[in-house]
Structure 1
Amino acid sequence: MNQPSYYAPEGGLPTQSALLTDRAVVTEAYTVIPRGVLRDIVTSNLPGWNGTRAWILAKPIQGFSTTFAQYLVEVSPGGGSTRPEPESGVESVVFVLSGDLRLTIEGIRYDLTPGGYAYLPAGADWSVANSGEDRATFQWVRKAYEPLEGHTPTAFALQEQDVPPTPMPGTNGTWATTRFVDPDDLAHDMHVNIVTFEPGAVIPFAETHVMEHGLYVLEGKAVYRLNDDWVEVQAGDFMWLRAFCPQACYAGGPGKFRYLLYKDVNRQIRLT
């Protein structure tokens, strides 16, 4: 099987002669953080990590994310963390974009390459290290877990290449979703999936729903409907969509358009 190729930022800074024009936008309904703004000057260090820097793509603040945080993490060879999660009630998903990542969960070692996916339940004992000779980059999604009596999620790690995508009904496979947990499993209060569109495929209606979204574009390009705007996006771009923000897309080609998608699911709406 061919090794997948996902976009990961190089950092650096534009030249002084570069134009300031870019596609970055923040609104009450959505935000677009294009890959061109993922530069050295906007990275953060993470306590408890070494040889690591992170681009914080989303965090719970007024007018932005309410249910999750999302990072793009870059780890130098030999870098990593023995205690990456500082909060006991927080669950995570890690998705490898480039390099070799050694993930140890409850004493079990997993060697992940691009496409590697791991779910870490709240309270899990896990660590992460760059086990290769080149930098390793990954998406890290964190959410405060909402416990549900009688349902407890378990940790797992695998390669997305080993999970068959599920075609959306009536699309002849031109629109498909790679699901890493059973949608009916109430132990999970978030899904982090991969959505794939063949060139020219579309979301044929304006989805409007209660789930909040974080989307990191892994491959390709598209025109995405966000609220009442059509926005061009490409590999390396990040989008945040508030609950009920209308959304749709046209995949632009010439290759597949694929993104990592976060959404909150399977819990009652809290009113008190």
Structure 2
Amino acid sequence: MSAPYWTPSGGLPPQSQLLSDRAVFTTGYAVIPKGVLSDIVTSYLPFWHKTRLWVLARPMTGFSETFSHYLMEIESGGGSDRPDDNADAQSVLFVTGGSMTITIDGTTHPLTIGSYVYLPAGCDWTIINDGGQTASFHWIRKRYNAVSGIDRPDAFVTSDGAVDPIAMPDTDGRWATTRFVDPTDLRHDMHVNIVTFQPGGTIPFAETHVMEHGLFVLSGKAVYHLNQDWVEVEAGDYMWLRAFCPQACYAGGADPFRYLLYKDVNRHMPLDL
């Protein structure tokens, strides 16, 4: 079986490589294949040291409306003691390579491959790569939509291995979801889960729903239905789906098809767009 989570290595493709690829950008969905995650498209952030990132999604009209998604890479000794000045931004971190230490409101937590962190809006946190190798993690950010009479969520640290996947009904375990937050906990207005399909597993209907999605393929490969198109995706690819974009998939290959999934949940629809 391959490594548990795909992690970028940067660099540039050879001059002999053909220009054709699977990158697609439409009004309903986008596919960013792993081959475009090269050195030339990296970004940098204020007060982050020895760190670079790939921006996979950002709020913009006609694309991601509710969230941003970064793929972070921190060299040994790097990190930040001022990671995010936006007090309204909540975050999820998911570690795919190396090790780090995060401090949340004065409490430190070691992070290793598979660690999952929820950071509520306004919390105080710092992070450092105190390991000997480069560390990588996903960073998903969303402006928290507070509701009067409902408490804000608490910070927590867990891991992929510590949460049992829940099989979807009538699937014999071929399709399962690792849920890090109780879906009925209305304090949360976003979910970041891991969805797993065993080889041959499928979404047997075109899901069409209000949640916006960001999907990063952690392992395996599949044929994914997006709007009216079928696209091939594999570990390292990213998909963004606009609200109501139909989706389905067939998982193939020897390894489980797994992806990190963002969706916005548990709030009234805004009426002031």
Tell me the TM-score range normalised by the shorter chain. Answer: over 0.9
TM-score normalised by length of structure 2: 0.97
- Residues in 1 aligned to 2:180 and 2:3: alpha-carbon distance in whole angstroms: 17
Q: Is 1:168 aligned to 2:164, yes or no?
A: no
Could you say which residue in structure 2 is the equivalent of 1:73? 72
Contact 1:99 1:137 in 2 (8 A): yes
User: For residues 140-178 of structure 1, what are the alpha-carbon distances to aligned partners after superposition, in whole Å with 9 as ceiling and x for unaligned?
Assistant: 000000001222200000111010001001111110000
Matches within 5 A, 1:42-191: 42-149=41-148, 150-191=150-191
- Residues in 2 aligned to 1:178 and 1:195: alpha-carbon distance in whole angstroms: 6
User: For residues 189-237 of structure 1, what are the alpha-carbon distances to aligned partners after superposition, in whole Å with 9 as ceiling and x for unaligned?
Assistant: 0000000000000001000000000000000000000000000000010
Structure 1: runs of 5 or more not aligned: none
Could you say which residue in structure 2 is the equivalent of 1:203? 203
Q: Secondary structure in 2 aligned to 1:41?
A: helix
Could you say which residue in structure 1 is the equivalent of 2:249? 249
Q: Give structure 1 regions of 4+ aligned residues with deviation exceeding 6 angstroms.
A: none
Read off the aligned partner of 2:72 and give its amino acid letter: V
Structure 2: runs of 5 or more not aligned: none
- Residues in 2 aligned to 1:200 and 1:176: alpha-carbon distance in whole angstroms: 13
- Residues in 2 aligned to 1:21 and 1:222: alpha-carbon distance in whole angstroms: 20
TM-score normalised by length of structure 1: 0.98
- Residues in 2 aligned to 1:172 and 1:181: alpha-carbon distance in whole angstroms: 23
Read off the aligned partner of 1:163 and give its amino acid letter: V
Q: Secondary structure in 2 aligned to 1:12?
A: coil
Report the number of matched residues: 271
- Residues in 1 aligned to 2:93 and 2:242: alpha-carbon distance in whole angstroms: 22
- Residues in 1 aligned to 2:193 and 2:167: alpha-carbon distance in whole angstroms: 13
Could you say if the C-alpha distance between residues 4 and 22 of structure 1 is closer, same or farther in structure 2, counting changes exceeding 3 Å? closer
Contact 2:2 2:255 in 1 (8 A): no
Could you say which residue in structure 1 is the equivalent of 2:14? 15
